[in-house]
Amino acid sequence: MNALASLTGLDKVQPCDDQAVLRERGQREVFCGLTGIVWLHRKIQDAFFLVVGSRTCAHLIQSAAGVMIFAEPRFATAIIDERDLAGLANANDELDKVVTTMFERRPDIKLLFLVGSCPSEVIKLDLSRAAVRLSEKFAPRVRVLSYSGSGIETTFTQGEDACLAALVPTLPQAKTAEAPSLMIVGALADVVEDQFKRLFAALGLDNVHFLPPRSSTALPPIGPNTKYLLAQPFLADTARALEQRGATRIAAPFPLGIEGTTLWLKAAASAWGVDPARFEAVTEAARERGTHALTRYRSELSGRRIFFFPDSQLEIPLARFLARELDMQLVEVGTPYLHRQHLSEELALLPQGTSLSEGQDVDRQLDRCRAAAPDLVVCGLGLANPLEAEGLTTKWAIELVFTPIQGYEQAADLAELFARPLVRRNRLVI
Amino acid sequence: MKLTVWTYEGPPHIGAMRIATAMEGVHYVLHAPQGDTYADLLFTMIERRQKRPPVTYSTFQARDLGGDTAGLFKTTVRNAYERFKPQALLVGASCTAELIQDDPAGLTRGLDLPIPVVPLELGAYQHKENWGGAETFYQLVRTLAGPKAPRPGTQRPPRSEGARPLCNIIGPTALGFRHRDDVEEITRLIKSMGIDVNVVAPMGASPADLRRLGDADFNVVLYPEIAGVAASWLQRTFGQPATKTIPIGVSATRSFVEEVAGLAGIDPTAALSDLSTRSAWYTRSVDSTYLTNKRVFVFGDATHAVAAARVAAEELGFNVVGLGTYSREFGREIREAAKIYNVEALISDDYLEVEAAILALQPDLVLGTQMERHISKRLGIPCAVISAPVHVQDFPARYSPQMGVEGANVIFDTWVHPLMMGLEEHLLSMFRDDFEFNDATAPSHLGIPKDGGADRKVPAPTAAAQQSSIVWAPDAETELHKIPFFVRGRARRNTESFARERNVPLITVETLYDAKAHFSR
């Protein structure tokens, strides 16, 4: 291990409470923020995402999920060509034409996001102004907003952050006299949302809203009486925008695993002054059921060494869950970006001395990974098969974003996602 | 600016990656922002490659834009060279990096690397994947084989007495539609003719192999989209002729053998008599009669589309009712082929336009790409895939070429499989209302769709038909529904256009059968 430490500079990493982190700068094997469209366009069912970008952007989104999505998508790309690069006024007219065609094809759309890309940012095409212009043109039928999903500014899940941050200024103002409301922020699977809604209702919290909503016409109200709870760890800009509207954040770990879900729910319950006994009573059945379901995976995962490549910013909460509830050993936990404030409750729960890395230099990280020979590697689609071919066992990180994993009822499903590759490797005899 | 739902081709640097990834000992340094690494998964996931593509990305971010992106690129090149020690290096820019104009070529020259460096200028806003692949292959061939070129005007020396003819096979890439198996099939065919293969490129070739390209007597061009430019340079520079025939289908394979024998200066008789396919017998066997005059729509890259149309018409007895390509560079080839079938060529990379054409034609079978498979699934039309863009399903575990003898067999099976079997089709038209075996069920060998065939509903007719004032009488509508789903859409369309031409405002059962008689083939 000494050789590895001096090779990688990991010896400089201090225990987590000191929060020293290996910062890497180099090739990043991660998606850009445009990828968020793959799940956001299914979540907000009357919204359309129009990327203003290059053929690369269109090709990325179509390839991002690993396969093409075989349904009529609520997203498209306005591909910039040579003529647009000649002059900006022209590009705006062209954009208006594309948007008009899009609305003719999809008259059911009520919310359009113009999504900026690397090329549109570099040529300084002002999509926020275009959004205002198009909003006026198509009002009141459609609202047009803009955000950037460009790779020069956003990594993978930060695209969702940028999208939600763009939605925040359009949220209706809550009446000042209104009772305090709770806003759950971050896209969750519909089934998870419904479970949380039932739990909050049982705790006596009825005024609960979700951002993003399933329909653009059901935007949650916001005001000084709004408290928000992040359901996802990658929402820095959205949180800032919510606070500008007067909302206050309830600090909590993220609802992954039984412990994470309990602390997350408890943070909201405490903010509402729910009696601890009631909290125990309401959550007891689900906690016990979930804990029991985790047991079989603990025997499969306990003591196994896991290495996270950076992907979605979910890595730290996931590592906390795997270390504390399934007794896995954390070799390295990579994250594309570490938001110390939003993750402070998570970092406090991580085992002392956990190696954290932020950013990426993929070749150097692969060197570290190979030297450490972990039992399981969590990584993106570009790395998974090559590492499998080298004899390592991998878990595709993207599945952790595309699967319902939050909450009590999903804790065992989440554990199973990590157990499955190990089980499979054991089981195959060829 | 163009509205694009799905794209047939990626940007040109994806083409360059397909060349670099196909080869050994080549590395590609791409000036590109974070996110462009998505391209790696095309190779590791769709093609299930066991190695990462040999590509390093400079990964600049917004905060670098005001600073030294050029310095970042140079560091990236230097580190990639040190780590991977390639025999040749490709350098270039993706779409965003083109805009910041850092000049990867000049920057790399400044590093004075001890290996050949091939700078790529691919024009991300003008060109696409296949163009990028062709240009990259050409630049590599020129850079590496060029120094061994004879003086212009030099006559190619005749092959020495007793030496076996020698050829190169050029065009196969990473992520190509069945390239892996085509190369195997064609290599075997060529060797069986007594011809040696000098180099296969880019697939499996190293820069050292490309230096030897000039040694061959002629070139076998399997994929003109990729190898066409390089082949004509090789012809000009080394006097190497190139094959023109694409050996897809029984007849084309025979013509290919004749052409290759001609270039090699050998007698093709023995090789031709060895060519026998099961498909040639299967298509003449009586159970194939039901294939006669099935209306097919063909779309793909130009090479595969032209070949598929010929096989469809001559070897399966289909009627080609539509033919098109997304490769504008090969529009001429497609237009010429379209004349043979008396159809108008569809040259478009607009997925929506292709969808509209299929909807209007209501073919019995679509031979297309994964995009057309998507369209056909929605419209409930049988479909077989004949061309890139590829999907994980296009890399089957089994040997599955498109070219040569085995390719013809594979094609016969693949194209016939989605269709209703002959007698089944007749029974369906006789007894439409059987509760278990009706026109909402899929062909019996394909299983029953979970939703009972709801996805087979033919979408509402085109806007034009809706706007017209033609009305269907209820009994005519009922009668229409007795027609099996796979021809119902066309029957509706034909009847409506028949009524419109004759100014018949109300379609009755009589109109329906008048139209049927009018259009009957």
Cβ atoms of B287 and B422 within 8 Å: the answer is yes
Chain A residues with beta carbon closer than 8 angstroms to that of B99: 85, 119, 122-123
Q: Is B287 a catalytic residue?
A: yes
Neighbours of A248 (CB within 10 A): 14
B278 pLDDT exceeds 80?
yes
The average confidence (pLDDT) of chain A is 92
Q: What is the pLDDT of residue B152?
A: 85
Evaluate whether A2-29+290-427 and A33-154 have a shared fold: yes
Distance CA(B155)–CA(A117), nearest Å, equals: 53
B463 pLDDT exceeds 60?
no
Residue predicted with more confidence, B242 or B391: B242
> Which member of B267, B287, B434, B455 is catalytic?
B287
Which structure tokens are listed for A8? 């990688």
B67, exposed or middle or buried, with CB in 10 Å at 0-12, 13-18, 19+? exposed
Which structure tokens are listed for A75? 């997203």
pLDDT tens string B191-212: 999 999 999 999 999 999 999 9
Model pTM? 0.90
A200 lies within 8 A of chain B by CB: no
A positions 107-136 inside 8 Å of B (CB): 118-119, 121-123
| Reported confidence tier of residue B422, pLDDT bands at 50, 70, 90 | low
Overall average pLDDT of the B409-436 stretch: 75
Q: Which fold has domain A2-29+290-427?
A: Rossmann fold (3.40.50)
A positions 41-100 inside 8 Å of B (CB): 52, 54-56, 58-60, 62-64, 66-68, 70, 72-73, 76-82, 84-85, 91, 94-95, 97-98
What is the full DSSP assignment across B98-138?
HHHT--HHHHHHTT--SS-EEE----TTT--HHHHHHHHHH
Chain A residues with beta carbon closer than 8 angstroms to that of B126: 81-82
In this structure, what DSSP letter does residue B458 have? P
A429 lies within 8 A of chain B by CB: no
The ipTM value here is 0.92
Lowest mean pLDDT among A14-23, B137-146, B242-251: A14-23
pLDDT tens string B350-380: 988 999 999 999 999 999 998 899 889 888 8
Chain A residues with beta carbon closer than 8 angstroms to that of B122: none
CA distance B513 to chain A (A): 35
Chain B residues with beta carbon closer than 8 angstroms to that of A105: 352
pLDDT tens string A322-341: 999 999 999 999 999 999 99
Grouping H, G, I as helix, E, B as strand and the rest as coil, residue B69 is helix
Alpha helices in A245-335 (DSSP H): 257-271, 276-301, 315-326
Q: What is the pLDDT of residue A175?
A: 85
Q: What is the pLDDT of residue B161?
A: 82
Q: What is the pLDDT of residue B154?
A: 82
CA distance A119 to chain B (A): 5
**Nearest alpha carbon to residue B214 among B227, B194, B226, B199:** B199
Distance CA(A213)–CA(B173), nearest Å, equals: 45
- Tell me how many residue pairs between chain A and chain B have CB atoms under 8 A apart: 182
From A76, A94, A119, residue closest to B5, measured CB to CB? A76
Residue A289's contacts (CB-CB under 8 Å, 6 or more residues apart) are A408, A409
| Reported confidence tier of residue B455, pLDDT bands at 50, 70, 90 | very low
The bridge status of strand B166-170 relative to strand B218-221 is parallel
CA distance B6 to chain A (A): 7
Overall average pLDDT of the B69-79 stretch: 96
Q: What is the pLDDT of residue B29?
A: 98
Neighbours of A407 (CB within 10 A): 29
From B5, B79, B95, residue closest to A54, measured CB to CB? B95
Overall average pLDDT of the A19-40 stretch: 91
| Reported confidence tier of residue B447, pLDDT bands at 50, 70, 90 | low
Which structure tokens are listed for B505? 């405002």
Domains along the sequence of chain B with CATH: 12-129 (3.40.50.1980), 148-154+163-274 (3.40.50.1980), 278-419 (3.40.50.1980), 423-455 (no CATH), 461-519 (1.10.8.550)
Neighbours of B83 (CB within 10 A): 13
From B36, B44, B57, residue closest to A384, measured CB to CB? B44
Nearest-by-CA chain A residue for B31 = A27
Q: What is the pLDDT of residue B451?
A: 45
Overall average pLDDT of the A9-18 stretch: 43
Chain B residues with beta carbon closer than 8 angstroms to that of A31: 35, 37-38
Overall average pLDDT of the B265-282 stretch: 92
SS3 track for A209-264: EEECCCCCCCCCCECCCEEEEECCCCCHHHHHHHHHCCCEECCCCCCEHHHHHHHH
Q: What is the pLDDT of residue B209?
A: 98
**Nearest alpha carbon to residue A224 among A201, A211, A243:** A243
For B73, B151, B249, the CA distances from B311, given in Å and listed in that order, are 49, 43, 6
CATH number of the A33-154 domain? 3.40.50.1980
Q: Which residue has the tokens 């996001």?
A: A113
Grouping H, G, I as helix, E, B as strand and the rest as coil, residue A146 is strand
B124/A54 touch (CB, cutoff 8 Å), yes or no:
yes
Q: Which residue has the tokens 């059901």?
A: A218
| Reported confidence tier of residue B169, pLDDT bands at 50, 70, 90 | very high
| Reported confidence tier of residue A196, pLDDT bands at 50, 70, 90 | very high
CA distance B461 to chain A (A): 15
pLDDT tens string B318-332: 999 999 999 999 999
Neighbours of B125 (CB within 10 A): 20
Q: What is the pLDDT of residue B233?
A: 98
pLDDT tens string B469-519: 788 989 888 888 877 776 787 788 888 888 988 988 899 988 888 888 887
Nearest-by-CA chain A residue for B377 = A70
Query: Which of A34, A59, A362 should one mutate to test binding to chain B, selecting the residue with the greatest count of B CBs within 10 A?
Result: A59
Grouping H, G, I as helix, E, B as strand and the rest as coil, residue A380 is coil
A113 pLDDT exceeds 50?
yes
| Reported confidence tier of residue A4, pLDDT bands at 50, 70, 90 | very low
CATH of A181-279 among 3.40.50.720, 2.60.40.2470, 3.40.50.1970, 3.40.50.1980? 3.40.50.1980
Distance CA(B92)–CA(B77), nearest Å, equals: 11
Nearest-by-CA chain A residue for B392 = A67
Lowest mean pLDDT among A255-264, A373-382, B293-302, B426-435: B426-435
| Reported confidence tier of residue A8, pLDDT bands at 50, 70, 90 | very low
Grouping H, G, I as helix, E, B as strand and the rest as coil, residue A53 is strand
The average confidence (pLDDT) of chain B is 90
Chain A residues with beta carbon closer than 8 angstroms to that of B1: 52, 78-81, 84, 91, 94-95, 97-98
Domains of chain A, by residue range, sit at: 2-29+290-427, 33-154, 181-279
Task: Round to the nearest angstrom and report the end-to-end CA distance of chain A.
Answer: 32
Q: What percent of chain B has pLDDT over 70?
A: 90
pLDDT tens string B31-71: 999 999 999 999 999 999 999 999 999 999 998 988 899 99
For A420, B264, B485, the CA distances from B289, given in Å and listed in that order, are 49, 39, 21
